[in-house]
A and B are shown apart, each in its own frame.
Chain A
Amino acid sequence: MNASVTEDLGTSSVTEFDVRDPDRSTQVKGFEGTIGENTLDNPKISTRNVNISYGEKQAIFDASLDIGRNEVIAMIGPSGCGKSTYLRALNRMNDTIVGCRVTGDLTIDGEPIYAHNMDPVLLRARVGMVFQKPNPFPKSIYDNIAYGPRIHGLTRTNAELDEVVVTSLQRAGLFEEVKDRLDAPGTGLSGGQQQRLCIARTIAVSPEVILMDEPCSALDPIATAIIEELIDELRANYTIVIVTHSMQQAARVSQRTAYFHLGKLIEVGETNQIFTNPRHELTENYITGKFG
């Protein structure tokens, strides 16, 4: 990447770009709508004209993005640009935040996510989430994994439940490490193991989509590598949306990448293309390390 291209970002004149956002405090210079392939045929999740605000403060402006089946899509962007906000809107985790309002058309398999008849419990069983900091429950490893199947009544017998736990642990690549101490507390594992435990916990309810909000930010490179490998394997069965601050990680695990900036979805495209040939100046500034 040629760093000099973006040298004059600060001075790029306003006249060159149409400032469409009336709210000057959040205006993004040069934003005229998302660049790139943001719509797909038969998407798993489709979002159109999504606006999200926390009380008075708007965090996402008019974002439209489709998420395909069995793909890994990465969300990147500077801190505070609204990646987590957008991600949490997909399984209605925002419902728990007082004052958070989501508008726009969001659908999963064509069913509106925010419709009255869409049950958040059911939705979250279908769209799982892994968080930035590993958050195992203060229970045994076994009970951590069994928690989801138990509350949803997914298994009939203990044997079935055992099987779900074992396969989930296996798919999360944790089974070998913990098979002798399934009764030990989940909080006693290392950070990387805890995060895989959380992934296994999510897999145990067999969701259709997994949302991951910076799943590796608390982990060392080795643990990160294991999880990245895991994501790659999971792609066969799940749709995965991953927020990350690491460009390399996005490049390694995702097929498509979306770039957010100050609450706006700037550019979407094949990961390769975004990283080698960004079409928007802001995207380029970001991935070349000009800011962020």
Chain B
Amino acid sequence: MNNTEIVKQSLKRRYAREKRFQLYGRCAVLVGFVFLALLLTDIVVKALPAFSVTEIRLDVDVSREALELPVEGRLDRDAIIAVNFGGVIKKSLREAFPDVTKRKQKRELYRLVSSGAEFALQAMLVNNPDLIGDQPLRIWFKADDDVDTLYKLDTRTSRISDLQLGIIEQLRASDSIRTVFNTTLFTASDSREPEQAGIRGALLGSFWTLLVTLIVSLPVGIAAAIYLEEFAPKNRITDFIEININNLAAVPSIVFGLLGLAVFINFFGMPRSAPLVGGLVLALMTLPTIIISSRAAIKSVPPSIKEAALGVGASHMQVVFHHTLPLAMPGILTGSIIGMAQALGETAPLLMIGMVAFIVDVPGGIFDSATVLPVQIYLWSDSPERAFTALTAATILVLLGFLVVMNAIAIYLRRRFERRW
């Protein structure tokens, strides 16, 4: 048998193997795609309920007697604030469902509306004292999160009693229950009650933290890149710096958190939970990314341009700042935006420096206690209430939205300024 025959005989088997191998490759690519699709769909599906919220309509008696306010004379603000609105709402609930008489049942009844309802009513009347009068008010109050889950998702949590179920049916029959868009998600900060919780605090916390990161890491990163690319002598120290930068890029982020805790908080006594410390830690973490991409951008500026500038008598420093840096800027910015996007999604180091606290206030600056979007996700994902799952997923969508925008800008910059020298 000559060789051609032998090869011919082997062909079928070998082509089968070839096909199989290609199939493995296809499957591998598919695994990535499928997982990505699953992940995104899962999150979107889980997030959807968070964008709407259930409300219950109540007729509230806001006469002066009912509010226990003086019958005559002008009402001052403090007097209105001091009214027991919780009691007012309970009373209107009792009036709406007069057959509920037992003590335990009443408590179940009261739990239908959110505990934030009294503050909503308070704010309403404080801002519009004219509403106080004999005319009862029809007000839509936020429902409790268990009611919300039941009404929106048709899922009965263990905390819904039979009585409550019946009442909700009655409400449904009389069109006194509805869902509306959940604005609280964007206007409120963290809360123990899912229906009162929002991401405003975390959003601002992320803003302040990233601001610090940007202010620190961008100038330092660019300066380091310029030095290493343009001025650094080729010696051991420079090599050592380079190795350091490459290694730092691969150090687990949680280790940067330990650094922040030991150095910034314990040694320098900076405030815990503050965007200042978080921003500094993230700055150190993103620095390698910015340095590496800035160096690449600076390197890609053709030497001919630098030589031309040197040729007309500019100093090395002038060449760098007048020619090299402006030409490298789009590349540097692209890298920096990607670094910032990483910082925006980073969680672990911030846990170390106390940004996990339960913080209700919106941070007003870099020294206030704050949390950030990814940490808020972490905190909420741990909560047992089902409604928090939806909030978590919604926060993830917001976070991913920001990341998409940042990456889109980076890609746009790269495309727009991509230069062929």
Distance between Cα atoms of A52 and B4 in the complex (Å): 28
- Say yes or no for A182: interface residue by CB 8 A criterion: no
> Interface with A: B5-13, B300-308, B396-404, which one?
B5-13
Size of the B side of the interface (Cβ < 8 Å), in residues, is 8
Closest A-B pairs by Cβ, 5 of them: A125-B7, A153-B10, A152-B7, A206-B3, A122-B7
B6 CB contact (under 8 Å) in A119, A121, A154: A154
Of chain B, the residue at the smallest CB distance from A207 is B3
Min C-beta distance of B6 to chain A, whole Å: 6
Chain A 152-165 against B: per-residue CB contact (8 Å), 1 yes, 0 no? 11100000000000
> Measuring CB to CB, which residues of chain A are less than 8 angstroms from any residue of chain B?
119, 121-122, 125-126, 151-154, 205-206
Cβ contact within 8 Å between B14 and A125: no
Min C-beta distance of A75 to chain B, whole Å: 26
Cβ contact within 8 Å between A122 and B6: no
Of chain A, the residue at the smallest CB distance from B9 is A153
Most buried by B among A122, A151, A152, A154: A152
B3 CB contact (under 8 Å) in A119, A121, A125, A151: A125
Distance between Cα atoms of A153 and B10 in the complex (Å): 7
Distance between Cα atoms of A206 and B10 in the complex (Å): 16
Of chain B, the residue at the smallest CB distance from A125 is B7
Of chain A, the residue at the smallest CB distance from B18 is A121
Cβ contact within 8 Å between A153 and B6: yes
Min C-beta distance of A95 to chain B, whole Å: 14
CB-CB under 8 A from B8, the residues of chain A are 119, 122
Distance between Cα atoms of A151 and B10 in the complex (Å): 9
Cβ contact within 8 Å between B11 and A121: yes
Cβ contact within 8 Å between A126 and B4: yes
Of chain B, the residue at the smallest CB distance from A151 is B14
Chain B 1-38 against A: per-residue CB contact (8 Å), 1 yes, 0 no? 00110111011001000000000000000000000000
Known pairs A151-B14, A152-B6, A154-B3; list 13 more (Cβ under 8 Å). Answer: A119-B8, A119-B11, A121-B14, A122-B8, A122-B11, A125-B7, A126-B4, A152-B3, A152-B7, A152-B10, A153-B7, A154-B7, A206-B3
Distance between Cα atoms of A119 and B7 in the complex (Å): 11
Cβ contact within 8 Å between A122 and B14: no
Min C-beta distance of B5 to chain A, whole Å: 10
Distance between Cα atoms of A205 and B6 in the complex (Å): 11
CB-CB under 8 A from B14, the residues of chain A are 121, 151
Distance between Cα atoms of A205 and B2 in the complex (Å): 11
CB-CB under 8 A from A152, the residues of chain B are 3, 6-7, 10
CB-CB under 8 A from A126, the residues of chain B are 4
Distance between Cα atoms of A114 and B265 in the complex (Å): 74
Distance between Cα atoms of A71 and B40 in the complex (Å): 65
Of chain B, the residue at the smallest CB distance from A205 is B3
Distance between Cα atoms of A151 and B4 in the complex (Å): 13
Of chain A, the residue at the smallest CB distance from B8 is A122
CB-CB under 8 A from B3, the residues of chain A are 125, 152, 154, 205-206
Of chain A, the residue at the smallest CB distance from B10 is A153
Of chain B, the residue at the smallest CB distance from A124 is B7
Distance between Cα atoms of A117 and B420 in the complex (Å): 44
What are 11 A-B pairs at a CB distance below 8 A? A121-B11, A121-B14, A122-B4, A122-B8, A125-B4, A126-B4, A152-B10, A153-B6, A154-B3, A205-B3, A206-B3
CB-CB under 8 A from A205, the residues of chain B are 3
Of chain B, the residue at the smallest CB distance from A149 is B3
CB-CB under 8 A from A119, the residues of chain B are 8, 11
CB-CB under 8 A from A206, the residues of chain B are 3
Min C-beta distance of A242 to chain B, whole Å: 23
CB-CB under 8 A from B4, the residues of chain A are 122, 125-126
Min C-beta distance of B7 to chain A, whole Å: 5
Min C-beta distance of B225 to chain A, whole Å: 35
Distance between Cα atoms of A122 and B11 in the complex (Å): 8
CB-CB under 8 A from A122, the residues of chain B are 4, 7-8, 11
Distance between Cα atoms of A151 and B6 in the complex (Å): 11
In chain B, positions 110-133 with a C-beta closer than 8 Å to chain A are none
Distance between Cα atoms of A206 and B11 in the complex (Å): 17
CB-CB under 8 A from A121, the residues of chain B are 7, 11, 14
Distance between Cα atoms of A269 and B6 in the complex (Å): 37
Most buried by A among B4, B7, B11, B14: B7
CB-CB under 8 A from B6, the residues of chain A are 152-154
CB-CB under 8 A from A125, the residues of chain B are 3-4, 7
Distance between Cα atoms of A152 and B7 in the complex (Å): 5
Distance between Cα atoms of A153 and B6 in the complex (Å): 7
Most buried by A among B3, B6, B8, B14: B3
Min C-beta distance of B13 to chain A, whole Å: 9
CB-CB under 8 A from B10, the residues of chain A are 152-153
Distance between Cα atoms of A119 and B8 in the complex (Å): 9
Distance between Cα atoms of A154 and B11 in the complex (Å): 12
Of chain B, the residue at the smallest CB distance from A121 is B11
